[in-house]
Amino acid sequence: MSIFGPGRARGRRETSSNERPKSRNIGALRALAAYLRPYRPAVVGALIALTLSAAAVLAMGVGLRLLIDRGLSTNDAGLLDNALLYLLGMVVLLAIGTFSRFYLVAWLSERVVADIRREVYGRIVRLSPAFFEVTKTGEILSRLTTDTTLLQAMIGSQASSALRNLLLFVGGVALLLVTSPKLTGLVVLLVPVVVVPILVFGRRVRRLSRASQDRIADVASRAEETLNAIGTVQAFGHERLETERFGERVEAAFGTAVRRVRARAFLTAFVIFFVFGGIGLVLWVGGHDVVAGRMSGGELTAFLFYAIVVAGSVGSLSEVYGDLQHAAGAAERLAELLRKSPDIAEPEHPTPLPAPPRGAVEFDHVGFAYPSRPDRPALANFSLTIGAGERIALVGPSGAGKTTVFGLLLRFHDPRSGTIRLDGVDVAAASPAEVRMRFGLVPQDPVIFAADAFDNIRYGRPGATDVEVRAAAEAADAASFLDALPEGFNTFLGEKGMRLSGGQKQRIAVARAILRNPPVLLLDEATSALDAESERAVQDALDRLMQGRTTIVIAHRLATVLKADRIVVMDEGRVVAIGRHDELMGQGGLYARLAALQFNLSAEPAPPAGIGAVAAS
């Protein structure tokens, strides 16, 4: 259950990572209290420091009045020294309070946002693939980075600034009334004249600032997309075209930036004219009161100081409110993620899988359809029993349901009907983590992480030693090319394994599966996209890996199906035939047609010798 609480659900509209979420429901930020609760001492310390610094600022007005009235006006050097010492004491107090507030609030913001990011990421990685079918990765990353950064800024800056300025506003207004009710009334009349236009122009500046940031993001996005496809750009000779397109984005960003600068310059000039004009008017009225003896010069100075403090706090509060709206929007978006529950839930009392594992698998009248295609069954009344240690090949046209079988075994999804059993236990009643530990996957397109070879292979079993990792690499015929790298197994393999060939990536994936040592091996035809030499090396490694364990292969090549104990022919989510290669060829039908298309074999029944001769060739 998310500690953000139920909250308002947001729409399904996808948001670009460049947009700033905004909400008028500032109450959404109350959920952050749950993250602050474990750090109460730091919160209390920050509040004390904030109050101390605000009080020191207001007390400086008293110091200015004493400095002028008791020091300068009386020509008494002792009183002047005391007033100066008082003023310096307030400055020191302000510095101490500001340091403590800044440090504690910054620490809290970093700590809370780290906790939120960890919780959000922990929730995301537990969500089933069905969630990622309908949600953009960029949207998730935006919430994990941009939205948490907005919250960090809110906790570390806007929230404390809002509280501090609120204290300054309340205290400043009270001291204004005490110092001169007449001048306070004049300031009250002037404030709307100055503040309202500032708020109006300030919103325009903020809109142009966001637009400028978006245009800059467009520039970066275009550059990233082009540079990631630089080979394609150069192969088609589009260097000039892409330069022109990039130039258009740059000019758009420049035009928006100029409008932002112009609006900001106008706002600055407006503020200078009206604020200083207002100060001049107050000085003129107050000066007449000083000349008439109705107030002292120190009181007038203190009044101006308080008026500036109040005006500054009002301006800051107006800006902070907009920032708080953005932070509230970010909190709602994060809350929506945290309310997501994994479709594959851990049973309250999971049934343990038998030990030692055998690797027997059974599909019992299984039906399934993907959430994005609910009306199109991926598996329909699918039944299949696989004995421990048996080698099974799944064949069939695209969309037959072969990959779906793997996804259901790994519990990326649960079937809508029927039962899947592993070693006699219904996988829906077992722990998903324990079920997945029984499988090892070698995909057709292996994932290589941006790390060294040790870390990539050790992903199969994180607790493995370097010796065990090397042994797995040797068994996968990967040690030789890894040792030849500049730093051997410690060599950084690049983003997505860019420093490796396709065959080398596959052997890393095989080594990962060897290290995992699973009772059931899932092979998504790991050699179909390789050249002949790489295929031979990877196939030899796979043959060693398949020894003594249950193996299910999505097969596209004749060499793979010839080695299978049984071939399961699938079509439209159903089993249409089961047998060995020669038996299925003799029966004709779908398998024979697929073989004819791929291997130029006759679809008519042929004697086993003929098939053997073709296979041998």
Q: 111 vs 306, which has greater pLDDT?
A: 111
With 90 as the cut, is the pLDDT of residue 203 above it?
no
Q: What pLDDT is attached to residue 523?
A: 86
- Label residue 362 by pLDDT band (50, 70, 90): very high
At residue 238, the pLDDT reads: 85
Q: Rounded mean pLDDT of 265-270?
A: 79
Between 322 and 211, the more confident residue is 211
Q: How far apart are CA 54 and CA 90, in angstroms?
A: 11
Contact in structure between 586 and 565 (CB atoms under 8 Å):
no
Q: From CA 324, how far away is CA 25, in angstroms rounded?
A: 10
Percent of the chain with pLDDT strictly greater than 90: 8
**Residue 193 reports pLDDT greater than 80:** no
* pLDDT exceeds 60 at position 11: no
pLDDT digits (tens, 9 = 90+) for 46-67: 888 888 888 888 887 777 776 6
* DSSP 8-state class, residue 564: -
User: Residue 529 — very low, low, confident or very high, per pLDDT cuts 50/70/90?
Assistant: low
One-letter amino acid at 64 equals L
Residue 129: strand, helix, or coil: helix
Task: In whole angstroms, give the CA distance from residue 299 to residue 73.
Answer: 12
Which domains are present in the chain? Answer: 26-339 (1.20.1560.10), 347-438+518-579 (3.40.50.300), 447-517 (3.40.50.300)
What's the mean per-residue pLDDT of the chain? 79
For residue 385, name the pLDDT band (cuts at 50, 70, 90).
very high
| pLDDT at 608 > cutoff 50 | no
Point out the least confidently predicted range of 24-38, 222-236, 463-477, 576-590. 24-38
Which tokens belong to 266?
């106008």
Question: What is the residue whose two structure tokens read 């990326």?
Answer: 412
> Please, which residues have CB within 8 angstroms of residue 181's CB and are 6 or more apart in sequence?
none
Angle at 579 between CA 577 and CA 582, to 5 degrees: 115
C-alpha of 415 from chain center: 29
Better-predicted residue by pLDDT, 567 or 314? 567
Q: With 60 as the cut, is the pLDDT of residue 19 above it?
A: no
Beta strands in 269-346 (DSSP E): none
**Highest mean predicted confidence (pLDDT) among 9-13, 91-95, 314-318:** 91-95
Residue 62 confidence (pLDDT): 73
Rg (CA), the chain: 36
Q: 8: pLDDT confidence band, cut at 50, 70 and 90?
A: very low
Which of 586, 480, 467 has its CA nearest to residue 537? Answer: 480
DSSP-assigned letters across all residues of 388-451? TT-EEEEE-STTSSHHHHHHHHTTSS--SEEEEEETTEEGGGS-HHHHHHTEEEE-SS----SS
Residue tagged 């930036």 (tokens):
257
Quote the pLDDT of residue 527.
66
Q: Is the pTM of this model over 0.85?
A: no
Query: pLDDT digit string (tens) for 106-138?
Result: 888 888 888 888 888 888 887 777 777 667 766
Under DSSP, is residue 291 helix (H, G, I), strand (E, B) or coil? helix
